[in-house]
Amino acid sequence: MIHTTIGSAGHLLVIIAFVTALVATFAYFKAGMTNAAIDEQLTWKRFARATYFLHVVAVLGVVFSLYWIIGNHYFEYHYAWKNSSLSLPAGYTISSFWQDQEGSFLLWIFWNVVLGSILIFSNRSWEAPVMTVFALVQAFLTSMILGVVIPGLDVKIGSTPFLLLKEVMPDIPVFKMDPNFIAKDGNGLNPLLQNYWMVIHPPTLFLGFASTLIPFSFAIAGLWTKKIQEWIRPALPWALFSALVLGVGILMGAYWAYETLNFGSYWNWDPVENSSIVPWLVLVAAIHTMIIGRKNATALKTSFILTIATFILVLYSTFMTRSGVLGNASVHSFTDLGLSGQLLVYLLSFTIVSIGLLIYRWKSLPSDDEEVSTYSQEFWIFIGATLLCLSGFQILATTSIPVYNKIAEAFGTVLNMALPADQVGHYNKFQLWFFSLIIILTGVGQFFWWKRVGKGKLQGLYNPLLIALLISAAVITFQGVKDIQYIVLLTAAIFAIVANGTILLNIIRGNYSLSGGAITHIGIALMLIGILFSSAYTKVVSINNSGLMISRSEEFTNNDNKENKENITLWLNKPEKMGEYMLTWRDVRVEPRHIPGYIPKSWVDIVENDYHAVALRDIVVNDKKYNSKGDTLEIFPENFYYEIEYREPSGRVFNLFPRVQINPKMGGIVSSPDINRKLDKDLYTYVSMVTNPTAEPVWSQTENFTVNMADTFFVNDYVAILDNVVRTDSVEGVTLGAGDAAVKAMIRVLDNDHEFVITPSFVIRDRMVARKPEVNNDLGLRVQFQEINPQTGQFTFAVNTTQRDFIVMKATEKPLINILWLGTFVMVIGLVMATIRRFRDFIKMRDRENAAANKNKDKMKPQVA
């Protein structure tokens, strides 16, 4: 049965949400008009609030409907069919929700609803103007998932997630046969996204994006109601909150990429990554100018510009990643849903209106009478904010290259511009210097801020500078940092840690709650050091020293031996030397759902197109028996883990299990690394190619060997010796009766450094001959005992050969990457402290204002009476 009700309800609720957002925008706008009578304002405000709450309820209803469809596996719905499947573990059905564009818009809408409700309750005095902006944004966002066709015009607005499969693909033959056809199972979630980071990364990132709306709304409200300076106090804590959440969201994505993708890095300068970091950089700049904006008019003006810019950049980034404009420039942008036009309208509306309002009010903004002194705190903070913006501008200028092509196309010319071939080099060339300067300024700025230095007394900075230089010299010598640009960045970061640390020690004794800034700066400096070492000093361990020797030896060694040979081939159970390690690929393992760790693939037989497997033996892990032979158990059918044994020179042995996902639906293999984490470095290993573990081996044509006892013969280029033929009492898989007999041959096969014994059996049972071949995967051999000739005393064996199993892998070492993660935690702590402090400031001020307002009211009452 097709569950049409829930989808219709969802679609209806989207329409209600859209309409209520529009009505709330208008009502809040009316309530915010200062020239109206107080009574009228109050009426509008009450009406607006009621409409907004209707909107909240509608949005929650939409979220519930979509989740209900996915959670109950209603595969008649395209969204559920496309993004989830029966075998998907419950935790990941949540990720299916935002796997597609519509769901991620919905996630954004949901966060806006939450944030808007908090604002209404926490900040009554700003409600009308702030919520006008909020409701308008909600109207635009809900229009993206509206899915309504305007009759007559043939214009579709938005793309709804509540379409049935047959509405999306009416042409597929199955619907001609049975219009009520419901798919039995869904397509499933991309296995790369079946990861716990993908459960928490998108909501965090979208909360970050959504929360940039709050400072923006306050800035617009400030311009609109001419509260030119007052908006900063309520906006600042939210700006900090936004920087915190967006920063954490971006870093979660980076960590997911490091752990799951095989790019070998946490940051790849991909356009999608860039378009999330640029708003963050500008937001951080905005926070700094907001902090000094109440004292300095230039900073106040800049705060308006940067706060508005942050939000517009978020919209621009949304446009870039969702309109399809990036095309083949990005690995993980969404495909075009036909929303480009709508997204462009959204982007341009807010750009034009907010910039227009700013220009309109520009004259009434205050300006400084006096020129700012080079020795003032404002000056240094201002320089820092400028550098942050320039850094963001550089990233944006390059990331927008596909956009330039589109613009040129619109004007009828062909630009054919492409992203730089060496993106990392291109960005680093600028960003390394920008960040060296920025991080130095965090230290200098703090000294000026806390008045530890000033005009004529710069001595305060001498000690930190001296200490930083000494530490840097030690680190440079000890770690062998040779390149000048890295020496500069390292010294700058160490100076920042020392300088901010000095300030921290000074102020923490007085009032620790003020130390958020210094702690955040230390965190960022630590992150830079971690990034410097882990990316600039990545060492490829898996240098291939054998490969090309055979085919192109000349080419292999030319160009100073620098040809790309960073991947090595490993054969099953054949140790290979790699760097200081001895490597052996041992086994392929599978991942059972309710048993810890991975079990050898040979223990189970995987049921095709299902998520079950049959145990071929008792499954015992860590001395605990989980399943008996013949049991059916649940597994993750796509995941295969390649057990690679690392033997260190000290003799210590550890295993890594890089993953390969083989998904017939995705039509290929997807590999994820495994990481051996040490305090001072990570050993990062991934497999880039494997012989398909699910495919049946392809055997060569049978070759017969007839040999005498102790004869030597050659199979598949190996030396084989028939050592003996012995009588045996048991043959696996065969029950021997009273009159039956069985013999098995002992064939010794010599490999370079290894000996294998292959024992095929020859059975006479009920006067019939049975031959049990033996397969050796290490050698790629199958040997069958074919015949015994009693006259000649000769034995015949049938031999088939196959491709031996191998993998191609790469291993790199990432030194000091833990400093990056440590820095991340420190930065988060600092930002949390700063956010809490600014929220306290705001609440104190709000309560004081409320108290004053109440007193006024009390005074007025007797007069009225």
Partner 1 sequence: MKKIQIFGLVIIAVAIGIIISTAGDASTYVDFSKAQEMASSGDDESIHVVGKLKKNTAGQILEMEYQPEVDPNYFTFTLIDNNNVSQKVVYKSTKPQDFDKSEQVVVVGKMQNGTFAAEKILMKCPSKYENGKLETTEATASKS
Using CB under 8 A, list all residues that contact partner 1: 82, 169, 187, 190, 263-265, 298, 327-331, 333, 335, 371-372, 374, 386, 390, 393-394, 397-398, 401, 416-422, 424, 426, 429-430, 538, 540, 544, 547-548, 550-552, 563-569, 665-671, 688-689, 806, 808, 810, 812
| Closer by beta carbon to partner 1, 49 or else 82 | 82
Q: Shortest CA distance to 843 belongs to which of 124, 219, 243?
A: 124
Residues 6 or more apart whose CB falls under 8 angstroms from that of 276 comprise 205, 209, 246, 249, 250, 253, 317
| Closer by beta carbon to partner 1, 46 or else 295 | 295
Burial class of residue 688, CB neighbours in 10 A (0-12, 13-18, 19+): middle
User: Residue 555 CB, nearest distance to partner 1 (Å)?
Assistant: 9
Instruction: Please say whether the beta carbons of 285 and 555 come within 8 A.
Output: no
Q: Could you give phi then psi for residue 105, rounded to 5 degrees?
A: -60, -40
User: Residue 642 CB, nearest distance to partner 1 (Å)?
Assistant: 14
Q: Shortest CA distance to 745 belongs to which of 773, 774, 725?
A: 725
Instruction: Please say whether the beta carbons of 392 and 431 come within 8 A.
Output: no
| Closer by beta carbon to partner 1, 425 or else 597 | 425
Instruction: Please say whether the beta carbons of 814 and 534 come within 8 A.
Output: yes
User: Residue 692 CB, nearest distance to partner 1 (Å)?
Assistant: 12
Burial class of residue 562, CB neighbours in 10 A (0-12, 13-18, 19+): exposed
| Closer by beta carbon to partner 1, 212 or else 544 | 544
Q: Shortest CA distance to 339 belongs to which of 197, 161, 592?
A: 161
User: Residue 387 CB, nearest distance to partner 1 (Å)?
Assistant: 9
User: Residue 656 CB, nearest distance to partner 1 (Å)?
Assistant: 18
Burial class of residue 316, CB neighbours in 10 A (0-12, 13-18, 19+): buried
What contacts 24+ positions apart, CB below 8 Å, involve 150-154?
A: none
SS3 at position 767: coil
User: Residue 438 CB, nearest distance to partner 1 (Å)?
Assistant: 14
Residues 6 or more apart whose CB falls under 8 angstroms from that of 214 comprise 115, 119, 130, 235, 238, 239, 242
| Closer by beta carbon to partner 1, 642 or else 795 | 642
Q: Shortest CA distance to 53 belongs to which of 77, 74, 28?
A: 28
Tokens matching residue 457: 């007394």
For Cα atoms 163, 167, 173, give the angle at the middle one, nearest 5 degrees. Answer: 140
User: Residue 808 CB, nearest distance to partner 1 (Å)?
Assistant: 4
User: Residue 331 CB, nearest distance to partner 1 (Å)?
Assistant: 5
| Closer by beta carbon to partner 1, 213 or else 660 | 660
| Closer by beta carbon to partner 1, 386 or else 655 | 386
| Closer by beta carbon to partner 1, 217 or else 298 | 298
| Closer by beta carbon to partner 1, 570 or else 731 | 570
Angle between helices 340-362 and 297-322 (to 10 degrees): 170
| Closer by beta carbon to partner 1, 327 or else 356 | 327
User: Residue 429 CB, nearest distance to partner 1 (Å)?
Assistant: 8
For Cα atoms 441, 445, 451, give the angle at the middle one, nearest 5 degrees. Answer: 155
| Closer by beta carbon to partner 1, 136 or else 531 | 531
| Closer by beta carbon to partner 1, 302 or else 491 | 302
| Closer by beta carbon to partner 1, 333 or else 442 | 333
| Closer by beta carbon to partner 1, 413 or else 850 | 413
SS3 at position 284: helix
Burial class of residue 846, CB neighbours in 10 A (0-12, 13-18, 19+): middle
User: Residue 474 CB, nearest distance to partner 1 (Å)?
Assistant: 28
User: Residue 566 CB, nearest distance to partner 1 (Å)?
Assistant: 7
User: Residue 263 CB, nearest distance to partner 1 (Å)?
Assistant: 8
Three-state secondary structure string covering 440-466: HHHHHHHHHHCCCCECCECHHHHHHHH
Helix (H) / strand (E) containing 432? helix 423-449
User: Residue 162 CB, nearest distance to partner 1 (Å)?
Assistant: 17
User: Residue 798 CB, nearest distance to partner 1 (Å)?
Assistant: 25
Beta-carbon count within 10 A of 552 CB: 12
| Closer by beta carbon to partner 1, 355 or else 401 | 401
User: Residue 413 CB, nearest distance to partner 1 (Å)?
Assistant: 14
User: Residue 124 CB, nearest distance to partner 1 (Å)?
Assistant: 39
Tokens matching residue 187: 């397509």
Angle between helices 297-322 and 271-292 (to 10 degrees): 160
DSSP 671-688: EE-EEEE-SSEEEEEEEE
Q: Shortest CA distance to 267 belongs to which of 287, 253, 281, 285?
A: 253
Residues 6 or more apart whose CB falls under 8 angstroms from that of 463 comprise 502
Helix (H) / strand (E) containing 467? helix 462-479
- Distance, C-alpha 180 to centroid of its chain: 38
User: Residue 164 CB, nearest distance to partner 1 (Å)?
Assistant: 14
Q: Shortest CA distance to 157 belongs to which of 174, 171, 139, 136?
A: 139
What distance in Å separates the CA atoms of residue 540 and residue 738, rounded to the nearest whole number?
Answer: 62
Residues 6 or more apart whose CB falls under 8 angstroms from that of 844 comprise none
Q: Shortest CA distance to 826 belongs to which of 816, 814, 834?
A: 834
What distance in Å separates the CA atoms of residue 847 and residue 839, rounded to the nearest whole number?
Answer: 12
| Closer by beta carbon to partner 1, 342 or else 542 | 542
User: Residue 298 CB, nearest distance to partner 1 (Å)?
Assistant: 7
| Closer by beta carbon to partner 1, 142 or else 542 | 542
| Closer by beta carbon to partner 1, 12 or else 390 | 390
SS3 at position 68: helix
